[in-house]
Amino acid sequence: MLASRIRSQRSYRSNFAFDLASSGFVGLIELAEVWLLFHQVTVLGGLTFQQVLLVFGIADLCNAVADLFVGHCDTLPTYVRAGTLDVFYLRPQPLLLQLMTSDISLRRLTRAGVALASLLIGLSINDIHWSVGAVGLLVLTIVSAVAIFAAMYVWAAGVQFFLIQGAEFTNAFVYGGRYAATQPAAVWSTPLKVLFGFVFPMALSAYVPALRLLGLPGPAGLPTWLAWCTPLAALWIWGFALLMWRLGVRHYQGGGG
């Protein structure tokens, strides 16, 4: 099923090439936003630009990978409005799984590429004391962060069953969270630390593990031993996501098709 999706996207070659280019461009512009601030000052939230590359790289890479597989869940309102979601119910496969594989967007690969480059540069130019623990932490962080971002798309999709016209409400946390994850959380106010540190564990997806790798102290409220808790954060947000998805699917009455 996956292979067929991939083949279908490569069939329109020029459009696919343009999609790849523009998606990579999105990643570059996002990196440029960060760079512009460091163009004015050398240290922001306790990090230099070289160090922020690591935070940006982890967060954006994991987000792009999650986006590749589940990002299109936010097109759910379109399916609901058009009544085409009912077709998914007819097939003998779990609804969420069908939705996840309905549109694997390969164009998002180039954005992941920009993020990967940022991560690799961040890993090589910073003074990281490499050990088994550090490698383990990096791997654990990347796996957990992909799971965290994927869960963000899933809970948002579940809530869409109720909102239909209110996609921007969930965008505030899904895309706001993506933006938050690339920031040094030391600059946040307490309410932001609660919201994007723990409720939606964005700070744990990249910033806190990056601090741990760099051997830097954590800001108030975010000690760096939390870096080892990213799997717990992923479990929490997946629990929340599946609950919201279940509520949403139960709420759905069908398009009357």
Partner 1 sequence: MRAAGLESPSLLRRARAGGAARAYLRLFVAGFREQAAYQLAMFGGLVANVTFGFLKVAMLFATVRAAGGTVQGYDIGAMSAYIWISQGMLGSINLNGRIDLADRIKTGDVAVDFLRPINVQLATVATEAGKAVFALIPRGVPSVAIGALVVGMSAPGTAAPYLLGAVSLLIGITVSFSTVYLVAVVGFWLIETRGIQIFYMVISGFFAGLYVPISLFPTWLLVVAQATPFPSMMMYPIDVLTGRVTGAASYGLVCAQLGWLAVTLLAGHLLTVAGRRKLEVQGG
> Footprint of partner 1 on this chain (CB under 8 A)?
15, 18-19, 22, 25-26, 29, 32-33, 36-37, 39-45, 163-173, 175-176, 179-180, 183, 187-189, 191-192, 196
Round to whole Å and give the CA distance between 154 and 241: 6
Residue number with CB closer to partner 1 (88 or 179): 179
Of 238, 236, 240, 222, nearest in space to 55 by CA:
222
In angstroms, give the least distance from the CB of 117 to partner 1.
Answer: 18
Round to whole Å and give the CA distance between 92 and 106: 26
Residue number with CB closer to partner 1 (34 or 96): 34
In angstroms, give the least distance from the CB of 182 to partner 1.
Answer: 10
Residue number with CB closer to partner 1 (2 or 187): 187
Round to whole Å and give the CA distance between 3 and 104: 10
In angstroms, give the least distance from the CB of 93 to partner 1.
Answer: 28
Residue number with CB closer to partner 1 (108 or 212): 108
| H/E segment holding residue 44 | strand 43-44
Round to whole Å and give the CA distance between 72 and 64: 12
In angstroms, give the least distance from the CB of 18 to partner 1.
Answer: 4
Structure tokens at 11: 């069939």
